[in-house]
Structure 1
Amino acid sequence: MNAPPATPGLLDDPLPALEEAALDWVVRLHSGSATAAERAAYAAWKVATPEQNAAALAAEALWDGLGKAAKPRRRRALLRGAGAGAVILGLLALGAGSGFLDHPATLLADHRTGIGERRSLILPDGSRLDLDSATSLDVAFDARRRRIRLHDGRIHAEVAADPDRPFEVEAAGGRVLALGTGFDLRRDGDAVQVVVTEHSVELAVPGQAPVQVAAGQRAGYGPGRLDPPAPADLRSETAWRRGQLIFHGRPLGEVAAEMGRYSRGWIVFTDAALRRRPVTGVFPTDDPVAFFDAIAAALPVRLRRLPWLTIVEPDPLRAGRL
């Protein structure tokens, strides 16, 4: 069965067809006029492929989340009014913060932090790990090696000396080998970024020559790539350990996504130009309301806040003033 036509979004860069189609199915089936044939067609569409099933489950979860604050008619208006693409973008980009998209490996991890939680671990060898919000990992130590497997999130490692047992972190198919004592490591899906705060580390991914990253440098890798080391702003890169996030001219969409890691729910933009607006500032990770207040005061935006959902849209009355 074919999916119903995708609802036109308000984004300049529309989302993949599966996410658009899944949201359209959910809105249609809750319209009050859906037929038995349409419900059967959706059930068949949902299980046709794993990708369609994942998109359908995500759209259903978003509908249920909005249901905590809105009647069905209001929910349909919110989803349509924000644009299907905009809403599903918020769901997929920031929905990990809500917890319902967790991978099974994350749920069964040896150690994990909740949304907005930071925690420190002292490992059996005396090494210390600081875990950022929404982080999960496994620890595997034996007589020959010390290994951390990072499923998601961000850590800072202060590695205790033990020349007979290498200390390494596996993440997204790559490996970070500690050649010294201090580094940050962040994983977002298949993308990994390392910032070295003391001594050096070695990054290795299959099919690429390993690279060494020294203190004060950053590097990263992803599918088919291994980036060369580059200078890092350690004050900004490590601010999360002090309960802050520091941004210098970063696009508002990226800033919102970063802040979204520290609070439950979704942040949705109805205008692509807004997401590209540069932002500079220092924001506390434990007070997302302060972040929204700051952007509402500094930028020509209007916020609509609901439980689990914040919609960011242009404010035409202020567009020419700021």
Structure 2
Amino acid sequence: MSGASSARQLAREAAQWLALQDSGAFSAEQAAELGRWRQRSAAHEALWQKAEMLRQRFAEVPVPLAAACLDRPMLDRRRLLGQALALGSLAPLAWLGYRQLPVANWRADLRTATGERRGLTLPDGSYLQLNTATAVNLDFEQGRHALQLLEGEIAVQGRGPLQVHTDQGLVRSWGANFCVRLDAGLCVVSVSRGEVELVPQAGRSRRLAAGQRGQFSAGGIHATEAFDALLPGWQQGLLMADNQPLGELLRELRRYRAGLLRWDPALERLRVTGTFQLDDTDRIFALLAASLPLQVSYRTRYWVSLAPDSGRVAS
């Protein structure tokens, strides 16, 4: 089967699963079978992520159409809404089939939303984790073993040679465990097992061993430093602070929370120590308010503000 035919077949399978899931008669056995289908390969998982994203995009009925439905008798209203929902389900399926043609590679193969983390096994047996707000393209065709990190952060448990391409350059691994993060025009690489090579677009390359972290831009390598590779981190769903300035913690926390997070500059230099669960950012705010002289206010679920608590002083 040609590459184009294989891609079209996968698109049809994903479309069938999407329609079945939205049918209202999706059993636990079918959900388990879908899970097994997604785990067959990185291509299956990437395509399913695209299908879910498209379903969300087309799920909402446009406001003018909804308003028109309200003005009609019940029978016509149901018919019109039914037509709208039918179009809403067909559109992403058609788009999905079209976008799986080899010429359409502009959209990331794998993507996570803000606050979401995801892991999957790559075709070479390596395990890939995507941190919050991350986009990755895969390239495992014709003997290649490569990823392209477009945004965000990944962790790799390597099982063989692997290259990670970024705008700043290349990270080359030979079965290492490592993280790659894009941050303000820099590529930051941390190695917990094995060895990797940093290859900026310009300048000399440099190798990092386990327990080392390096950062580079397109113009060259900026710095390397040691770190504790045994400390748990986002791969375990944790955010750790050891006498860390609160401002630094909040800037990191903002990556995992959709919406607006603001704080009074007077809070910047307060110190924080603790281990926090990334899956519950509201709980983190509550813990900070309980241990520091600050108060948390919610204007909406997606608009959180932190301000000094004048009735308390820092210990």
Indicate whether the TM-score tops 0.5. Answer: yes
Q: Distance in 2 between matches of 1:251 and 1:221?
A: 25
Structure 1 CA distance for aligned equivalents of residues 135 and 106 of structure 2: 8
TM-score normalised by L of structure 1: 0.61
Aligned mate of 1:231, from 220, 226, 235: 226
What residue is the counterpart of 1:308 in the other structure?
302
Please name the residue that 2:171 is paired with: 176
* Superimposed CA distance per residue, residues 1-45 of structure 1 (whole angstroms, 9 cap, x where no aligned partner): xxxxxxxxxxxxxxxxxxxxxxxxxxxxxxxxxxxxxxxxxxxxx
Unmatched tracts of structure 2, length 5 or more: 1-104
- Structure 1 residues 191 and 277: alpha-carbon distance in aligned structure 2, compared to 1, 3 A threshold: farther
Query: After superposition, where does 1:153-232 map in structure 2 within 5 Å?
Result: 153-161=152-160, 166-222=161-217, 224-232=219-227
Show the counterpart of 1:130.
129
The 8 Å contact of residues 211 and 228 in structure 1, kept in 2 or not, is answered as no
Larger RCO (alpha carbons 8 Å, 6+ apart): 1
Indicate if the aligned counterparts of 1:172 and 1:191 stay in contact, CA closer than 8 A.
no
1:250 is matched with 244
Shift of residue 176, structure 1, vs aligned partner: 0.5
CA offsets, 1:247-303, max 9 Å, x none?
A: 122221221122222221121122x23123222210001111111011111111122
> The residue matched to 2:256 in structure 1 has which SS?
coil
Rounded to whole Å, the distance in 1 between the matches of 2:281 and 2:220 is 34
Q: Is there any run of 5+ residues in structure 1 with no aligned partner, and where?
A: 1-105
Q: Quote the Cα distance in structure 2 between the aligned partners of 1:183 and 1:221.
A: 15
- Offset of residue 116 of structure 1: 2.3
| Deviation for aligned residue 1:178 | 0.4
Q: For each residue in 1:207-263, what CA deviation from the matched residue of structure 2 results, as whole angstroms up to 9, or x when unmatched?
A: 221110001111112364513432111233x42111111112222122112222222
- CA separation in 1, counterparts of 2:127 and 2:224? 25
Residues 174 and 196, structure 2, Cα contact 8 Å, conserved in 1: yes
1:146 corresponds in structure 2 to: 145
Cα deviation, residue 146, structure 1: 1.6
* Structure 2 equivalent of residue 291 of structure 1: 284
Task: Check 1:225–1:267 CA distance in 2 against 1; reply closer, same or farther (3 A cut).
Answer: farther
TM-score by length of structure 2 reads: 0.62
Instruction: Report 1:52-63 matches (<5 A).
Output: none
Q: Displacement of 1:107 after TM fit?
A: 8.8
1:308 partner letter:
Y
Amino acid at match of 2:311: L
Q: Distance in 2 between matches of 1:276 and 1:190?
A: 26
1 CA distance for matches of 2:243 and 2:218?
27
CA distance in 1, matches of 2:136, 2:249: 25
Q: Could you tell me the percent identity over the aligned residues?
A: 34
> What SS does the corresponding residue of 2:268 show, helix, strand or coil?
helix
1:87-145 C-alpha deviation (Å, 9 max, x unpaired): xxxxxxxxxxxxxxxxxxx9921001122222112222222201112211001123353
Q: Secondary structure at the match of 1:155?
A: strand
Count of equivalent residues: 211
Residue 261 (structure 1) aligns with: 255
Contact 1:131 1:154 in 2 (8 A): yes
- Which protein is bigger by CA-based radius of gyration? 2
Change (3 A) 1:155 1:225: same
- Cα pair distance change 1:301/1:225, threshold 3 Å: farther
Q: Does the 8 Å contact 2:211/2:227 carry over to 1?
A: yes
Distance in 2, Cα, partners of 1:107 & 1:136: 12
The counterpart of 2:275, out of the listed 282, 294, 297, is 282
Is the CA contact (8 Å cut-off) linking 2:121 and 2:127 kept in structure 1?
Answer: yes
Paired position in structure 2 for 1:318: 312
